Amino acid sequence: MVWGAGVVKIAGHSLEYGCWGPEPSEAPTIVLLHEGLGSVGLWRTWPALLAEQTGMGVLAYSRAGYGRSTPDTLPRPLDYMEREARDVLGPLLDALEVQSCVLLGHSDGATIAGIYAGSVSDMRVRGLILLAPHFFAEAKGIEAIHAAGRAYADGDLRDKLARHHDTPDVAFHGWHDAWIDPGFANWNVADAIDHWRVPSLTIQGTADPYGTFAQVHEVEERTYAPAEVLVLDGCGHAPHQEREAEVTAEIVAFCARLQQFENADVHIPESA
């Protein structure tokens, strides 16, 4: 494993990754899980900022079909997020020698993080940070994805994506075509929340075209673990970009609370 940048082979794909800050043997790691059209590069300068302000390591990778990773097979199955959590994330953490981590996901990435935390028993995962997550399909979000399809076909969205993805058509259609499939209207993975056993921070903008506050309510109503929520008035689908300073400060504080709890000297009295 090379801490910095490289390629790791997982589940038959070569996946690009980037790392910032301390190595896993020196500090906990924030694992970044990108959105439906994201990649390592599209996190831009934020991973370095997170590493600097939290004192933690930061690891990002591009899923198959995204960024500089090898292409994925289309059409992508409707349970592609569940498969990513089940088949890829754990082996990737193994390969990159992550020892203790916080999963930080955006949109599809937040969903994958939530599924992993609720379906895989992994003591390395100490907390969840979810930016604009979705645990079930909403008509509003599907309408926004149809609009993105029109922008891809008739506008300049493809040209923009081609700057960041070796296979932009795979990146776009793998995401878009799954979400607009009629069968996706009944997609729901909210039962994963029932099994969270780590603290979470959910960040949601009130002007997000892809999801509503119903997703946050699902977290609040179903998790038995401590759950914090930050609602950003007027913010859209990318809180870490639209409100970078505010979101970063909240994440830094959340990670500090996690580490304080982890390092607390808890006295357990002896039984009589």
Q: pLDDT digits over 20-29, tens only?
A: 999 999 999 9
Token pair 């070796």: residue: 166
pLDDT value at position 3? 72
Helix ranges (H only) for 26-185 are 46-54, 80-83, 90-95, 108-119, 139-154, 157-162, 168-180
Mean pLDDT along residues 215-241: 97
Q: For 83-117, how does the pLDDT look when each residue is reduced to its tens digit (9 = 90+)? A: 999 999 999 999 999 999 999 999 999 999 999 99
Helix axes 46-54, 244-262, angle to 10 degrees: 40
pLDDT value at position 261? 83
Percent of the chain's residues with pLDDT above 70: 96
Task: Decide if pLDDT at 272 tops 50.
Answer: no
Q: For 145-191, how does the pLDDT look when each residue is reduced to its tens digit (9 = 90+)? A: 999 999 999 999 999 999 999 999 999 999 999 999 999 999 999 99
pLDDT value at position 23? 96
d(C-alpha 154, C-alpha 168), whole Å: 15
Task: Decide if pLDDT at 128 tops 90.
Answer: yes
Token pair 């933690």: residue: 56
pLDDT value at position 270? 60
User: All domains of the chain, ordered by start, with CATH?
Assistant: 5-262 (3.40.50.1820)
Sheet strands (E) in the chain:
5-10, 13-20, 29-33, 57-61, 101-106, 125-131, 200-205, 227-232
Query: Count of CB atoms within 10 A of residue 259's CB?
Result: 19
Mean pLDDT along residues 246-253: 98
pLDDT value at position 2? 61
Q: Name the nearest CA neighbour of 50 among 7, 91, 81, 18.
A: 18
Task: Decide if pLDDT at 57 tops 50.
Answer: yes
d(C-alpha 6, C-alpha 14), whole Å: 10
Helix ranges (H only) for 123-243 are 139-154, 157-162, 168-180, 214-222, 239-242
Q: Name the nearest CA neighbour of 107 among 169, 35, 27.
A: 35
Mean pLDDT along residues 63-90: 97
* Average pLDDT value for the chain: 95
Mean pLDDT along residues 39-54: 97
Q: Name the nearest CA neighbour of 240 among 134, 106, 63.
A: 106
pLDDT value at position 1? 52
Q: Considering the entire predicted model, what is its pTM?
A: 0.95
Q: pLDDT category, 262, cuts 50, 70, 90?
A: confident
Percent of the chain's residues with pLDDT above 90: 93
